[in-house]
């Protein structure tokens, strides 16, 4: 069964709505770990709309599981990552005007830049994951440039409303996993996963970690974060 990385970006979204000091994502990470989170994920966006530099630095000192830093492959972010040294980094595409991450990284289309960023980060001892769509060419490119992990973008699967298309998208994810395993890539997945659509993804052979944020934080507003995390863990682990 995959492990659960809890993305706490949207705890910071509530704080930034008032530019105040609460709720603190650092406290949220502690509660998520108490609820059974296997890792903590944060996305330090270039526009700093939710997670702030201070959060990443404090989380590095306080997270007891592992810290996954999601970031764009820019020089500014690479410098921060090299300084903070998260347990692993997930490179994601970023557009300032987007509501959330819209698609996977085009690794195949920017191999030179990606090779150089991955070499810099992994050369400093930080494993790199590439957030990509479940497409054969992107998986091949991720393997070719030497990334340790990929994170399969589950957005298309998650947003699909009808069952037949959802089944089809699940097969696409399963085939992507098979291909990634032949390249010895380690496989994470995430984006848009909820209490209603996560189980089938958790059952795909080869899945190592699911990164889930918005749905867990939404439930936490109603039932508390520890319970929300525990319920997602139980769902992932149920046969
Ligand atoms: C890469 C991914 O799918 C998400 O982690 C996303 O980047 C989170 O960013 P937001 O929390 O800003 O939607
Ligand atoms: N990489 C995906 C992630 O961290 C969480 O995405 P979401 O559950 O907030 O859509």
pLDDT tens, position by position, 135-150:
999 999 999 999 999 9
Q: Tell me what pLDDT residue 178 has.
A: 98
The interface predicted TM-score of the complex, written ipTM, equals: 0.94
The answer to whether residue 26 scores a pLDDT higher than 90 is: yes
Between the CA of 49 and the centroid of ligand 1 the distance, in Å, is 11
Band of pLDDT at residue 98, cut at 50, 70 and 90: confident
Question: Is the distance from the beta carbon of residue 98 to the nearest atom of ligand 1 less than 6 Å?
Answer: no
Residue located nearest, by CA, to atom 3 of ligand 1 = 191
For 3-237, CATH gives 3.20.20.70
pLDDT tens, position by position, 167-222:
999 999 999 999 999 999 999 999 999 999 999 999 999 999 999 999 999 999 99
Q: Which listed ligand is nearest to 16 at the C-alpha?
A: 1
Q: How many residues does the chain have?
A: 239
CB atoms closer than 10 angstroms to residue 59: 21
- Cis peptide preceding 23, ω within 30 of 0: yes
Our answer to whether residue 169 is catalytic in this structure is: no
Band of pLDDT at residue 239, cut at 50, 70 and 90: confident
Residue in 99, 89, 74 with CA at minimum distance from that of residue 129:
89
Structure tokens at 20: 């105040």
């Amino acid at each position: 069964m995959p492990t659960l990385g809890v993305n706490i970006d949207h705890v910071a979204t509530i704080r930034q709505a008032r530019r105040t000091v609460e709720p603190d994502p650092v406290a949220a990470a502690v509660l998520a770990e108490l609820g059974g989170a296997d890792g903590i994920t944060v996305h330090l966006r270039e526009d700093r709309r939710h997670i702030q530099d201070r959060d990443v630095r404090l989380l590095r000192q306080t997270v007891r599981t592992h810290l996954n830093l999601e970031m764009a492959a820019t020089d500014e972010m690479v410098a921060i990552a090299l300084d903070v040294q998260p347990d692993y980094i997930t490179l994601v595409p970023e557009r300032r005007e987007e509501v959330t991450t819209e698609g996977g990284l085009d690794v195949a289309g920017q191999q030179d830049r990606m090779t150089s960023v991955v070499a810099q980060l992994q050369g400093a001892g930080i494993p790199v994951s590439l957030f990509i769509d479940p497409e054969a060419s992107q998986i091949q490119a991720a393997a070719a440039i030497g990334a340790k992990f990929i994170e399969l973008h589950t957005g298309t699967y998650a947003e699909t409303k009808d069952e037949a298309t959802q089944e089809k998208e699940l097969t696409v994810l399963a085939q992507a996993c098979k291909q990634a395993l032949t390249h010895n890539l380690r496989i994470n997945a995430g984006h848009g996963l909820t209490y209603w659509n996560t189980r089938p993804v958790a059952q795909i052979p080869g899945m190592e970690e699911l990164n889930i944020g918005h749905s867990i934080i939404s439930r936490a507003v109603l039932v508390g974060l520890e319970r929300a995390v525990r319920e997602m863990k139980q769902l992932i682990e149920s046969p």
